[in-house]
A and B are shown apart, each in its own frame.
Chain A
Amino acid sequence: MSSDPARADQAACTEAVLDVTPEAAVVSNLGVASYVLAGVEDRERNFYCWGSMGLTTPVGLGLALAIDDPVTVLDGDGSTLMSLGALATVADRDPSNLTVVVFDNGVYATTGGQRSHAETTDFAAVAEGVGLSAAHVSDDGAFVEAYRVAVEGEGATLIACDVAPVDPEARPPLDASHVKRRFRSAIVDPTR
């Protein structure tokens, strides 16, 4: 449960992603998004970023252009702000198997909770402004609904989800090369 009733619970929403699309290839942003995902379930089909801030959504886009399975990006407000332009490329390609979730906790949580520009940024409006379907939710139930619609609908979708800041204990494996090997082996036909 979220400590702030006006905001969704990031762990509950992450769990919903895995419930609705158990086969999804999930790309998670460095920091909280990856920590929460690893805590919910450290699956083979998780690709955690430990660096490359701002690239989580582009990595998800490239992946969605390569596979037919659902691809879900778990991004953060700070990382999304770092590369808002990438959303224009997502809109241009608009792959139906791609859903970008922006977990907006309003802060740079991994560096000590400094405020981001999220308070004055409407991520769903930004997405729509570059031609990408979008939804804005701020509770767990609305998130699940929006996620189901996004996964079933045509084209890519961005879901901006207001969440309360959390400080999870869990960490994904640190060996990036291991994570990518495990991920790619689970996804790619070995004959390729």
Chain B
Amino acid sequence: MDWTRGVLSSLGANDVDLVASLPDAALDPLLSALESDPGIETVTATREESAVGILSGAWLGGRRGALVCQSSGLATTVNALSSLNKPARIPFLGIVSRRGDLGEFNLAQVPFGYAASSVLDEIGIRNRTVSDAGEIGTAVDLAAKTAFSTEEPYVLLLDATVTGAKDEF
């Protein structure tokens, strides 16, 4: 559970005070910690693409936001990223659990989860896969700094080695 502390302190250090999310088993410890943090407002969206819209509107109004979801949800955001955030240069920080690779049991999670980084690269959204839990605090801090400084989204993809894999079988 320790990896969530680094995320929270780096969000706070970078004035990220709004989180839009959908539930995810691997990210549940983080989402619970965010919800109980008085410095963070959390909004549960019905679709990750809408969460990107909410975070974009909040940035237009002067706030800094983070998207917290799993990679299958990130798949729903491709049009938002491509036709809103990229052309208008509207930033947010993405903290996404990357399914589809180590430990994955569910084939439905494999195609996009495994390819998430390549898809983001293709549409020009910078991203980095974090595999070491010890790096997560620094990665969130530096990703937030570059996202809000360059005014472009930055997405961190958290491997199962950070979040732990869902053990169904």
Note all chain B residues with C-beta closer than 8 A to A65: 18, 41, 43, 54, 57-58, 61, 63
Q: Which of B5-34 contact A (CB under 8 A)?
A: 18, 20
**Bound CA span A50–B90, Å:** 14
Whether B46 lies near A88 (C-beta < 8 A) is yes
**Among A3-11, A52-60, A152-160, which stretch is in contact with chain B?**
A52-60
B126 at the interface (CB under 8 A from A): no
A89 at the interface (CB under 8 A from B): yes
**Bound CA span A150–B79, Å:** 31
Q: Which of B102-127 contact A (CB under 8 A)?
A: none
Whether B84 lies near A67 (C-beta < 8 A) is no
Whether B87 lies near A62 (C-beta < 8 A) is no
- Known contacts A86-B46, A176-B87; decide if A59 and B53 are in contact (CB<8 Å): yes
- Known contacts A89-B44, A92-B44; decide if A58 and B61 are in contact (CB<8 Å): no
Interface of B is mostly: helix
Among residues of B, the one whose C-beta sits closest to the C-beta of A174 is B87
Q: Which of B32-88 contact A (CB under 8 A)?
A: 41, 43-47, 49-63, 65, 79-80, 82-84, 87-88
Note all chain A residues with C-beta closer than 8 A to B45: 58, 86, 89
Q: Report the interface size class on chain A.
A: 35 or more
Which listed residue, B18, B47, B63, B79, touches A52 by the CB 8 Å rule? B79
Q: Which of A32-67 contact B (CB under 8 A)?
A: 47, 49-67
Q: How many A-B residue pairs have CB under 8 A?
A: 130
> In the complex, how many angstroms separate the beta carbon of A93 from the nearest chain B beta carbon?
6
B145 at the interface (CB under 8 A from A): no
A184 at the interface (CB under 8 A from B): yes
> In the complex, how many angstroms separate the beta carbon of A86 from the nearest chain B beta carbon?
5
Among residues of A, the one whose C-beta sits closest to the C-beta of B87 is A176
Whether A27 lies near B80 (C-beta < 8 A) is no
Note all chain A residues with C-beta closer than 8 A to B84: 49, 51-52, 55, 59, 176
Whether A51 lies near B87 (C-beta < 8 A) is yes
Which listed residue, A67, A86, A187, touches B50 by the CB 8 Å rule? A86
Whether A187 lies near B49 (C-beta < 8 A) is no
**Bound CA span A27–B44, Å:** 21
Whether B90 lies near A180 (C-beta < 8 A) is yes
Whether B47 lies near A183 (C-beta < 8 A) is no
Whether B60 lies near A52 (C-beta < 8 A) is no
**Bound CA span A146–B100, Å:** 49
Cβ contacts A to B, 10 pairs, < 8 Å: A51-B87, A59-B60, A62-B57, A62-B58, A62-B65, A66-B58, A86-B45, A89-B50, A179-B88, A189-B62
Chain B residues proximal to chain A, CB less than 8 Å: 18, 20, 41, 43-47, 49-63, 65, 79-80, 82-84, 87-90
Chain A residues proximal to chain B, CB less than 8 Å: 25, 27, 47, 49-67, 83, 85-86, 88-89, 92-93, 176-177, 179-180, 183-184, 187-189, 192
The 6 A-B pairs at the shortest CB distance, nearest first, are namely A51-B83, A66-B61, A62-B57, A58-B53, A85-B46, A55-B53
